[in-house]
Structure formats: structure tokens, C-alpha cells
Chains A and B, each alone.
Chain A
Amino acid sequence: MENLTIAASERSPEVNFDVAAGVLQIKGESYPEDASSVFGPIFTALQDYLAQADGNGLKVDFELIYFNSSSAKALMNMFQMLENAKGTDIVVNWQFMADDETMKEFGEDFSEDLSHVTFNLVAVS
């Protein structure tokens, strides 16, 4: 499969999925009216990767500053998808600015249901 590279727009994040390295980065802000336009291609790429991971792990790095409620729902779906991929070692790094309570709380909310996925809350200043 091919790498997925999407540049940031005014209301959508930058996405980089390096398939060979097994690293997906999602960075910036996400508040399009229709969250599926942003997350649809990411879901498809993740499904393809997980179906043929063959023992390779996956690292997902989030550096999100802000997202709207429909993006939050899409992120929750993404975490459910990762949690169900039992055959793959998955590490999520949820990076947030140390003074940003909102993004920290979202990280805590998302991590609650996860047991198979290793979820790291990473405060940066």
C-alpha cells in the first residue's frame, strides 16, 4: 500500500502515514462541517495497514490543537478500530500543550476504553 499524505487546510489537520515505518501522524486542527471528509481516507488507510500488518506494529502520533464534536466522534471510532486490531502492537502518543486542559481531558476520555492499545499522554510546553 502507498503512504498517505494530506496537507493541512484551514479547518483540517495535516496527515502523514508512513507505511514502511508504521507511523501515522495527525497534526493541527479539525473542524470541518463533515468530519468524514477528513477521517474517511485515514480510516481506509488504517484498515488496509492493519489487514496486512503481518506482525509489524503501529505508532500513531496526535498533535491536535482543536477539533469539533463531529471530529471527536470520528476519533472515538478510530480508537475503537485500533482497539479491535488485536494482532498488531499499537502505541498512541497523545501530545498536548501543558496548559491546555481541554486536550488533556480528551486524551483521558479516549484512553479509558483502551486495554490492547498503549496510550501515552504527552504534555509539552
Chain B
Amino acid sequence: MLAKQYRAFKSTLDERGIVFSFSGYLSEGILYSLGDALRQKMALEDTDVTTIKKVFSVFVEQSQNIIRYSADKVQGNLGKTVELSSGMVTIGSENGRFFIVCGNIILEDDMEKLRGRLETLRGMGKDEIKAYYKEQLREPPDEGSRGATIGLIEIARRASDPIEFDFDRIDADRHFFCLKVSI
């Protein structure tokens, strides 16, 4: 039963072309290790340097967004301050392209602002995104954003197709947020 259950679980992931999937509490250390394995896997498959860079960059920005903004966090002191943020990062391939999906819980109060930013980016062409990135690089950071604006633009810039995103309401105060990028 045990093996059957988990085999079915793994088969579902494999059928969706998923190469790596992480769900749970993310830290910078996990980000590093997953990122390293991801680059090695792509290099072993003779993926070209530019594609490896793009996939890695989107992976880092998405993971760091979860670490910074997930509304599901545990904090405490274990000799030093430790903060762990819960979320999901999934990397796979479909139709000859890589895709990276991140998911995490966000608060109702932050949702409209995030949706607005993502809609703006989805409506932009390649050259517009590049110009917007250059403009934001020269701007002081938004109050409380910890660099979110430039991170999302970087993600959109590396995407081969317009970014896909969605929000699934959990309750009055929270949504599950998902962002998918194809490269």
C-alpha cells in the first residue's frame, strides 16, 4: 500500500514532466542545493548556456519571492534567528520547453497589488519589459517591497511566453498564489 501510494504520487509528477518539485519550508540553503542540482541536470542534458541561465534565474527569483513573501512562515531563535517560509517550487519540461511554477500563500491585503504588477508585465512585449527593467533598476525600492518589483520583471524578462498566474481563495484573508513561467 505504501509503495503503491507513493508510486502513484511520483507517476503523477513524472507524467507532468516534473524534474524537481519541492513543497514545504524553503530556506536559502535549500535554494542553493536545488539550484545546483538543477544546473547540473540541465548541463548533463547538453542544454545551452543561455537557457540554463534563464531557468536558473527564474528559479532563484521565484524561490526568493517565496522566502520573502510567503504568508506561511515560522520564525524563532535557534542560537541565531531562523525564518522558514512555506511554499512550492516545481521545475519540469513540456513540449520541448522548461517550466518553473511557484506557489505560496499570500494575504488578501497583498493580492490586488501583486495581481496588478503581474497583469502589467503580462501585457508587455519583450522590448517593453526590457525597458521597464532598466527603468526600475535605476529607481529606489518601493516601500516594503524588499526588491519585489525588479524580481518579477526579471522573471517576465526571461520567460519565452507571457507569464501565467492565478489566485485560489482559501478563506476571507488568504489566497494560494501560483506563477508559471516557460523557457
Contact = CB atoms under 8 A, between A and B. Distances in A.
B53 A102 contact: yes
Contacts of A99: 48-50
Give the 5 A-B residue pairs with the shortest CB-CB distance, closest first.
A69-B154, A70-B147, A69-B150, A69-B151, A76-B137
A43 interface: no
B contact face: mostly helix, strand, loop, or mixed: helix
Interface string B146-183: 01001101100000000000000000000000000000
Contact of B147 (A66, A69, A100, A113): A69
Counting chain B CB atoms within 10 Å of each CB, the highest count among A35, A72, A109 belongs to: A72
B50 A101 contact: yes
A72 B134 CA distance: 10
A80 to B, nearest CB: 8
A11 interface: yes
B138 interface: yes
Interface residues on B, range: 20 to 34
A102 B137 contact: no
Given A10-B32, A11-B28, A76-B137, A66 B57 contact: yes
Contacts of A84: none
Contacts of A33: 28, 64, 67-68
Nearest to A112: B134
A32 B28 CA distance: 8
A73 B137 contact: yes
B56 interface: yes
Nearest to B48: A99
Given A32-B28, A100-B50, A102-B50, A68 B137 contact: no
Nearest to B137: A76
Nearest to A100: B49
Contacts of A35: 147
A90 B173 CA distance: 53
B56 A66 contact: yes
